[in-house]
């Protein structure tokens, strides 16, 4: 039997995405965002409100990076969701993390996060009900220790964080339990 919970953003798991930008003075800003996903093979979308410093920075630079947060950097990742760049201009510096300028887009790459997606701004979609920042993926980089013998990311080694909207908690990626496009093949 199911129990009604009312209106809850009940998608689980949600990614823990670190959106990194430069402001108009070249200062690094990073925010924690869970409401994002790929929307085409070469694009991703982020549901970000107009009031975020990050959105202002994306409009200025027409670029941003999206990193997957990991358990090694959980404190900094969580802090990036607690503090706002609108009233804490040195929030990145407080974490002690390292930013380097992307060679492909005008945005910072945070060295400590294991997977980074470099994006150019494709468009900002506004409707009566939502705003979405759409990025065109220019490159994806990954820490080499996460690659398997075939050069693919081994998610089991990564410690990538997931956000649980129900309990407001973080979890890490776990064991493999099936193979996509094969586990359900018996029903064909």
Span 50-63, pLDDT tens digits: 999 999 999 999 99
For the cut 90, the answer to whether the pLDDT of residue 46 exceeds it is yes
* Stated pTM of the model: 0.93
Average pLDDT (136-154) is 94
Average pLDDT (70-93) is 95
Locate tokens 């070469």: which residue? Answer: 42
Locate tokens 């959105």: which residue? Answer: 55
3 state SS of 59: helix
Q: What is the pLDDT of residue 96?
A: 97
Distance CA 113, CA 121 (A): 21
Average pLDDT (70-80) is 96
Average pLDDT (117-135) is 95
For the cut 90, the answer to whether the pLDDT of residue 13 exceeds it is no
Please, what are the domains in the chain? 14-187 (2.30.110.10)
Distance CA 107, CA 101 (A): 6
Distance CA 24, CA 20 (A): 13
Q: What is the pLDDT of residue 165?
A: 87
Distance CA 64, CA 41 (A): 18
Which range has highest mean pLDDT (4-13, 47-56, 96-105)? 96-105
Q: What is the pLDDT of residue 155?
A: 86
Q: What is the pLDDT of residue 171?
A: 92
Pairing mode, strands 169-172 and 161-164: antiparallel
Adjacent-strand bridge partners of 101:
108
> Among 166, 156, 171, which residue's Cα sits nearest to residue 77?
171
């Amino acid at each position: 039997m199911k129990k009604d919970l009312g209106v809850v953003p009940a998608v689980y798991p949600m990614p823990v995405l670190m959106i990194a930008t430069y402001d108009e003075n070249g200062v690094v800003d990073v925010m924690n965002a869970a409401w994002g996903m790929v929307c085409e093979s070469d694009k991703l979308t982020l549901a970000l409100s107009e009031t975020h410093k990050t959105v202002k920075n994306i409009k200025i630079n027409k670029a941003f990076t999206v990193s997957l947060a990991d358990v090694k950097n959980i404190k900094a990742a969580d802090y990036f969701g607690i503090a706002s760049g609108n009233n804490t201009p040195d929030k990145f510096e407080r974490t002690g993390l390292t930013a380097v300028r992307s060679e492909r887009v005008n945005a910072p790459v945070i060295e400590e996060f294991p997977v980074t997606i470099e994006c150019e701004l494709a468009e900002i979609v506004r409707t009566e009900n939502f705003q979405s920042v759409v990025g065109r993926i220019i490159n994806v980089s990954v820490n080499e220790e996460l690659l398997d013998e075939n050069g693919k990311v081994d998610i089991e080694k990564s410690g990538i964080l997931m956000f649980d909207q129900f309990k407001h908690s973080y979890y890490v990626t776990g064991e493999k339990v099936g193979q996509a496009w094969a586990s359900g093949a018996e029903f064909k």
